[in-house]
Amino acid sequence: METRIRAAQLKGRGGAFPKLGRRAGPAEPDYESEVYEAAAGDAVAVAPAPAAAVEPAELDFGAGEGHHLQHISDREMPEDLALESNPSDHPRASTIFLSKSQTDVREKRKSNHLNHVSPGQLTKKYSSCSTIFLDDSTVSQPNLRTTIKCVTLAIYYHIKNRDANRSLDIFDERSHPLTREKVPEEYFKHDPEHKFIYRFVRTLFSAAQLTAECAIVTLVYLERLLTYAEIDICPTNWKRIVLGAILLASKVWDDQAVWNVDYCQILKDITVEDMNEMERHFLELLQFNINVPASVYAKYYFDLRSLADDNNLNFLFAPLSKERAQNLEAISRLCEDKYKDLCRAAMRRSLSADNFIGIQRSNAILS
């Protein structure tokens, strides 16, 4: 009844009363939305009708049911969507090296199944009720030797399963050789073996005394370079790309970074000017984005463990000894005390809340 009275009042004032769901002015298309473009053909701008043409009638609430109101999350910029698909920036995106390795892993499993190849003696140890097997690698303190093996295996799959041979001159070893000795052209036509990549990286890490965390950050920078610069790592450029990633990771991660001149002592035939130029180009191609979030670091660590498990690169397991159990218990007690202090601080800030319920905790039993 009130609606009819309101419509009659508008008629008496000589105004138009458009139905809901119609637009009183010209529609402004949103070119970033494909959904809007698809529906733009059906949206018609309705001009105000003369007063005599409007009859007192009920409002038509069903007129707007066919129009789709787009959520703000659907209007994200393409750059944001590209960022989410970049594994070196977004923690939910799959790492590139793990995706490239799956092809070989599936073929190996299929070949073993067709040829009835037995897995042989199981080398991986599993915990039981009486014995707990633990490795000495954690996300905060990875094992150096195993981590370098996993990182170099990831680089190996990058080279082997590359999409093309896109490269840049600054990383081409034929234009910027790392040694004065003439390298035969056949060297650049074959993919390097995993053990050769491992030997090269291990030499740099051993001479510069770099940590295992630096190796993981090196892989993050390498995949970020390949994504940002849209290049491939191949036999002609893999050494200089890996060297540039290690150089940058050591400066960002380690408190006492290795200087460029120090790498010239390891690689005798390279000059400081060449190292500086390569580092500058590396940073520019990364768009100076050297940030590695903790979530991205943890994702790369666990994906490297998955890569090791798929390729039988088992971590060194050892039975849990009494001394190590006591150390773990002490660390756990220390973390629990810090957690209690945080809970007390939170409760002091929430004294005014009624019926405040504290966080319930379960004690972990280590036997």
> Where do the domains of the chain lie?
96-106+129-316, 322-347
Q: What are phi and psi of 47, to 5 degrees?
A: -80, 155
Exposed, middle or buried: residue 16 (CB in 10 Å: 0-12, 13-18, 19+)?
A: middle
pLDDT for the residue 114: 64
**Which of 151-160, 232-241, 296-305, 349-358 bottoms out in mean pLDDT, i.e. has the lowest?**
349-358
| DSSP codes of every residue in 131-188 | --EEES--SSS--HHHHHHHHHHHHHHHHHT-S-----GGG-TTTS-SSSSPPPGGGG
Specify whether the CB–CB gap between 214 and 202 falls below 8 A: no
Buried b (16+ CB within 10 A) or exposed e, 64-98: eeeeeeeeeeeeeeeeeeeeeebbbbbeebebbbb
Longest dimension (CA), the chain: 97
Per residue in 63-89, pLDDT (tens digit) is: 444 455 544 444 444 444 444 578 899
**Which of 86-95, 111-120, 286-295, 355-364 bottoms out in mean pLDDT, i.e. has the lowest?**
355-364
96-106+129-316 — its CATH code?
1.10.472.10
pLDDT for the residue 125: 67
pLDDT for the residue 45: 42
Helix (H) or strand (E) holding 332: helix 322-349
User: Is pLDDT larger for residue 85 or for residue 305?
Assistant: 305
Mean of pLDDT values over 120-143: 72
Sign of CA dihedral 48, 49, 55, 59: negative
Which two three-digit tokens encode residue 219? 């892989």
User: Is pLDDT larger for residue 218 or for residue 105?
Assistant: 218
Measured between its terminal Cα atoms, the distance across the chain in Å is 76
The Cα 7–Cα 57 span in angstroms is 7
Specify whether the CB–CB gap between 222 and 245 falls below 8 A: yes
Residue 229 one-letter amino acid: A
pLDDT for the residue 181: 82
Highest-confidence range of 48-57, 106-115, 165-174, by mean pLDDT?
Answer: 165-174
pTM beyond cutoff 0.85: no
Per residue in 333-363, pLDDT (tens digit) is: 888 888 888 887 776 655 555 555 555 555 5
Q: What are phi and psi of 168, to 5 degrees?
A: -125, 150
User: Is pLDDT larger for residue 357 or for residue 290?
Assistant: 290
